[in-house]
Structure 1
Amino acid sequence: MTTSFLKSAYISCISVLFLLISCKEGAKTAEAKLQSIDTVFESYYDFKKSANPIEATKAGFNSYNDTIANYISDNYQELLKQKYRSFLVELEAYDESMMSKEQWLSLRVMKWDCSIKLQGLENELVTMASPIYDLPSFELMPLLQIQSLHLYVAQLGSGASVQPFKTIEDYDNWLKRLQDYMTFLDTCIEKMEEGIAQKVVLPKTIVLKMIPQLQEFINAPIAKHLFMAPIRNFPENFSDSDRTEIELAYIEFLSQQLIPKYKELDSFLKEAYLPVARQTSGLSNLPNGKETYDYLIKLHTTTTMTADAIHELGKSEVQRILGEMEAVKNEIGFKGDLKAFFNHVRQRKDQMPFSKPEEVIANFNAIQKRMEPKLNEFFDIRPKAGFEVRRTEAFREASASAEYVPGSKDATRAGTFYIPIPIIKTYNKFADEALFLHEAIPGHHFQLSLQQENTKLPEFLHPESMGVFVEGWALYAESLGKELGLYEDPLQYFGMLSMEMHRAIRLVVDTGIHAKGWTREEAIQYSLENEAESKEGIIAEIERYMATPGQALSYKIGQLKIRELRTRAEYALGERFDIKEFHNQVLNSGSLALVLLEEKIDAWITSQSQQ
């Protein structure tokens, strides 16, 4: 009995010892996990770069400059599904107690990103790896008249975008990347043939816009071809023999591969695709269309709002802005109704004073100079990256909107504001101040450059990412005009209201087209009745919404939330409210889903209240 007791006591001691060791090892494991969450973030960013090599190039990672992901291929999509699922399982091992609040916020952004992308890959119509602004693509409708890879490749090939052409290796990398592009175009035709069989095809009006875009790539003489622009602009240090060898390689590729492939695509669109393209405009007319649009709303707004709720919010905002427009019309002294005032603004010759595209660029540069003295009152952090304004390239100008392309992470390549000027004599400048605030400073240039230059953020948060945050910030930036010394001309303030109206209308027409059965013509008419944009501009915009469902919702939804949070902070903090610190709080964590942004600002308000 004594032996048994001693044996039992011995076993109990050993058990306690093992328990103590286990606790100690558990603590070490928890500490290791705390240290390794940054490694998970690094692994995720490595995956994102390999999944989207063009985005890696945009961010300045040159090791990916020679490839394009065939993101619509079945094998590639299956690989992405496996990776997103694996990362989500890995993240479940972590909790808030293991890391800093900044790391926890980054983890929750990563979890959102993995989850929403996986949902897209599992949707019957959508695929999630498009190199264009991290937007989703339609697997069976992979080419569009706007925000489409074949147009973006042309930008890269011009040598005036993010693809570098500084070394012999750069020139070789581009030809290798184009070989992948040939495979992608072959897959596009295959997928569009599948789409024909399944009755998942683009609207006819979209196809009719795509066909002329191909003509410049097909008909331009080799010597003047857009893809030969890097050959016409060799670096000075290239030897004559290197120049000759590279030029011959580019001529051979264009004449024997690229141009024949564009001819094949052109024939396919004209002869096989256009005759069966649909007459309807929205997703609701496609198989699984309603479910797909519901998903795209969630993706682009990071909310659970329904199409109906967004539609009604849009109509409410339209009515509010119409009231403000009426006040500006009366201030100017115009005697007609608001619709007549829209036409008056569209046709005013003093608002179309330019005879050369360079004058439009100069006007934007002058706007920057006027607002510069006031910026320090609202922002105490500035990007390192430079900034420039450029005209949109001719091959995509007719269907393009103004846009911003970030500079490189190391600030060696400037951020670029592209402005389309298709017809210089009819270019109307009445909204240029608001447009500059949105696309340039303090809109996209500040937000995106500060985001990718922020060394405290995991690198996966450096690229553009969530549109509702990115575009919401840019639209909020438009509202800062009076505080920054702009909008002194009532017409420029009306221009700001017009741009806000444009985004409010998007809530109505995007949901109208894709959830309520609106036709293209109904959407155009609604826009014409409620904003001062030209008919040509409105048509291009409506066709953009037809091509990229849900994306246009992000602007107003994001802006309203940021403005709501600012008002909440101003009211709660009173004299302690610091506008510069509020802007820092919004901008210093990367692109956030709106629920995460709201939690962050509420926590900041609480901390400031307790000081």
Structure 2
Amino acid sequence: MKKITVFLVSLVLLASCKQEAKKEEIPSLSEEFAAVLDSYYEEDLKLNPINATTAGDHRYDDVFANSLSDEHIAKVKAHFENYKAQLANFPDEALTESEQLSKAILAWECDINLNEFNHKASLTPIDQMWSTNLFMGQLASGSSAQPFNTVEDYQKWIKRVEGYLAWLSSAEEKMREGMQTGHVLPKSLIVKVLPQLESLTITDLDKHLFFSPIKNLPDGFTEAEKLELTTAYEQMVKDKIVPAYQKLHDFMRDEYMEAGRESSGIQGEPDGDAYYAHQIRKYTTTNMTASQIHELGLSEVARIRSEMEKVKEQVGFEGDLKAFFDYVRNNKELMPFTEPQQVIANFNSIHDQMRPQIEKLFDVKPKTPFEVRRTEAFREKSASAEYNPGSLDGTRPGIFYTPIPEVTKYNVYSDESLFLHEAIPGHHYQISLTQESEELPKFRKTLWYSGYGEGWALYCESLGKELGLYTDPYQYFGMLGAEMHRAIRLVVDTGLHSKGWTREQAIQYSLDNEAESEASIISEVERYMANPGQALSYKIGQLKIRELRQKASEVLGDKFDIRQFHNQVLETGCVPLALLETKIDQWIQENS
């Protein structure tokens, strides 16, 4: 009897153990949700292999996805539809606060990208500022995110270029389709694209951008490997790159130029108003209308002008504000450099000056290294200063690129605010801390919402006095000028794309209200023409972050810690502004 009892007890225990094991095998809802987020991220990298490379993930360095092909477009659409449907399986009440935020962000991603398919942006795939061909030029230089350290790296680039050549061919096909439907670039932008394309039709290999990696072959390669790669790159450039660029150049110079728009804004294209509304939502992550943004811009321009008047009086300038703009633009004392390296050194000295104060505002700093570099020559004339993120693993530094097309005309009056925006604590802090976070799911580490990211960077410009900068009135005027520049964008971008403004009208409004050079203003206005709505994101985001700081300071009083506020803003990574506001409101409530 005892034996039977023991046997039965053993069976019961065994069954119980099996049930427990079964329970452990069943993933929790959080595990399922995390798996969906990871799956989304991995599939997104496959669809966008260049994004993987820039993030420091080199599994797809030999792949170039032709984003203009019907097959790829169908895959992307199915991707977002699939994950939008999967989110419905996870009710908010079953998720943690952090998971709810990830769900809301992914839902936003799916919706805004699916809405893009309702418009015809793919019919104008090439412009002078934003398009894929320009970024591929950066990669081709051998000094950007695409690695050129091993023989395999060099071979991967050749394979990737094959895919890129298919994209160039598709770009012409799409532009021809656009010519039939009225979706074409303004003539004034086509003119700016032509020299960029022409610069890559040269046959002198030593001067060709796509041959650059061969000029920097690692010493560890054997002579046979060097010869083989040199021959392969010679053939790639002469037989494929040069003819492809020549063909595209001639098409855009002749047929496409003839079909180009006389209008400056997106209103000149069919469905332009609906597309602009989409672009506003995409870049500001708000529901603001073009008219609301235009009026806000006019109000901000008036406010900043009054601050500028105070600086004009402080330095003793007796003319009107417009005359003061001309004075600042042309003041030779503010153009002290003779060598490009002096510009780079000046930015590094700004960093040194503010370094002792940074801990007063930030108690968390990125580990990713940082560098200042001159913008590459092939795109320098049409480029603005910009920040390129470091790799996710921190092995590639974050890089602040600054164009120096004519060093003797380089004006330093806005360098301090520019460094705060593009470098530290602007884009470098925000992007690097996001990438280094151990709390965020992978897909959130590489997201970019311009309203948040550019809003943060512009907000950082206002921190100059707290960081020991802006002691020179001209540098403070430079900060006001930079803020005015972004306020003008609210007026000019909406003017161009919703109120029928011409390119010339936009240029004149800018000249009347800021101290930027005419050449710089022309480049800026043409930038807005090429990517409607993007320029709105800076001021909208900055004003929201300022508003949230003010609210937190007033409600929390003595409990308000600026370092903790900055942590709260930065720890989420890039998020739509409405979600950031909800988070900060909760933080204020929990600490009040």
- Name which of 450, 456, 471 aligns with 1:473: 456
CA contact 1:30–1:98 (8 Å) conserved in 2? no
Pairing 1:179–2:162 present: yes
CA contact 2:203–2:242 (8 Å) conserved in 1? no
CA contact 1:448–1:464 (8 Å) conserved in 2? no
| 1:194-343 matched pairs, under 5 angstroms | 194-343=177-326
What is the CA RMSD across the aligned residues, in angstroms? 1.5
Change over 3 Å in CA distance of 1:29–1:338 after alignment to 2 = farther
| 1:530-549 matched pairs, under 5 angstroms | 530-549=513-532
Q: Secondary structure at the match of 1:483?
A: helix
* 1:420 aligned partner, one-letter code: P
CA offset digits 1:19-68 (Å, max 9, x no partner): xxxxx9xx999972222111111011112211211111000110111111
* 1:124 aligned partner, one-letter code: H
CA contact 1:204–1:278 (8 Å) conserved in 2? yes
| Mean CA deviation greater in 369-378 or 30-39 | 30-39
For residues 358 and 555 of structure 1, the distance between their equivalents in structure 2, rounded to whole angstroms, comes to: 29
Pairing 1:58–2:41 present: no
CA offset digits 1:543-570 (Å, max 9, x no partner): 0000000000000000000000000000
- Name which of 421, 427, 432 aligns with 2:415: 432
For residues 145 and 303 of structure 2, the distance between their equivalents in structure 1, rounded to whole angstroms, comes to: 41
Change over 3 Å in CA distance of 1:464–1:94 after alignment to 2 = closer
| 1:314-463 matched pairs, under 5 angstroms | 314-463=297-446
CA contact 2:203–2:238 (8 Å) conserved in 1? no
* 1:57 aligned partner, one-letter code: T
- Name which of 534, 546, 561 aligns with 1:551: 534
Q: Secondary structure at the match of 1:218?
A: coil
Residue 14 of structure 2 corresponds to which residue in structure 1?
none
TM-aligned CA deviation for residue 353 of structure 1: 0.2
Q: Secondary structure at the match of 2:360?
A: coil
Residue 158 of structure 1 corresponds to which residue in structure 2?
141
- Name which of 38, 42, 54 aligns with 1:46: 42
For residues 85 and 33 of structure 1, the distance between their equivalents in structure 2, rounded to whole angstroms, comes to: 21
- Name which of 492, 496, 513 aligns with 1:513: 496
CA contact 2:183–2:269 (8 Å) conserved in 1? yes
CA offset digits 1:216-267 (Å, max 9, x no partner): 2112501321111111111121111111100100001111111011111111
* 2:229 aligned partner, one-letter code: I
Residue 93 of structure 1 corresponds to which residue in structure 2?
89
Q: Secondary structure at the match of 1:94?
A: coil
* 1:79 aligned partner, one-letter code: K
Q: Secondary structure at the match of 1:86?
A: helix
For residues 528 and 569 of structure 2, the distance between their equivalents in structure 1, rounded to whole angstroms, comes to: 28
| 1:101-116 matched pairs, under 5 angstroms | 101-116=97-112
CA offset digits 1:510-553 (Å, max 9, x no partner): 00000000000000000000000000000000000000000000
| Mean CA deviation greater in 381-390 or 215-224 | 215-224
CA contact 1:438–1:478 (8 Å) conserved in 2? yes
Q: What is the TM-score when the length of structure 2 is the normalising length?
A: 0.95
Residue 84 of structure 1 corresponds to which residue in structure 2?
80
For residues 25 and 220 of structure 2, the distance between their equivalents in structure 1, rounded to whole angstroms, comes to: 55
TM-aligned CA deviation for residue 97 of structure 1: 2.5
Amino-acid identity (%): 51
CA offset digits 1:407-466 (Å, max 9, x no partner): 111111110000001111110000000000000000000000111111210011111411
CA offset digits 1:139-176 (Å, max 9, x no partner): 11100001111111111000011110001111011001
Residue 33 of structure 2 corresponds to which residue in structure 1?
37
Q: Secondary structure at the match of 1:404?
A: strand
Q: Secondary structure at the match of 1:70?
A: coil
| Mean CA deviation greater in 220-229 or 386-395 | 220-229
For residues 334 and 580 of structure 2, the distance between their equivalents in structure 1, rounded to whole angstroms, comes to: 39
CA contact 1:293–1:514 (8 Å) conserved in 2? yes
For residues 510 and 131 of structure 2, the distance between their equivalents in structure 1, rounded to whole angstroms, comes to: 25
| Mean CA deviation greater in 226-235 or 398-407 | 226-235
For residues 452 and 501 of structure 2, the distance between their equivalents in structure 1, rounded to whole angstroms, comes to: 28
CA contact 1:31–1:98 (8 Å) conserved in 2? no
CA contact 2:388–2:399 (8 Å) conserved in 1? yes
Q: What is the TM-score when the length of structure 1 is the normalising length?
A: 0.92
CA contact 2:290–2:498 (8 Å) conserved in 1? yes
Pairs aligned (count): 573
For residues 253 and 322 of structure 2, the distance between their equivalents in structure 1, rounded to whole angstroms, comes to: 39
For residues 73 and 317 of structure 1, the distance between their equivalents in structure 2, rounded to whole angstroms, comes to: 43
For residues 374 and 103 of structure 1, the distance between their equivalents in structure 2, rounded to whole angstroms, comes to: 35
Pairing 1:190–2:187 present: no
| Mean CA deviation greater in 271-280 or 525-534 | 271-280
| Mean CA deviation greater in 176-185 or 193-202 | 193-202
For residues 527 and 398 of structure 2, the distance between their equivalents in structure 1, rounded to whole angstroms, comes to: 24
CA contact 2:413–2:474 (8 Å) conserved in 1? yes
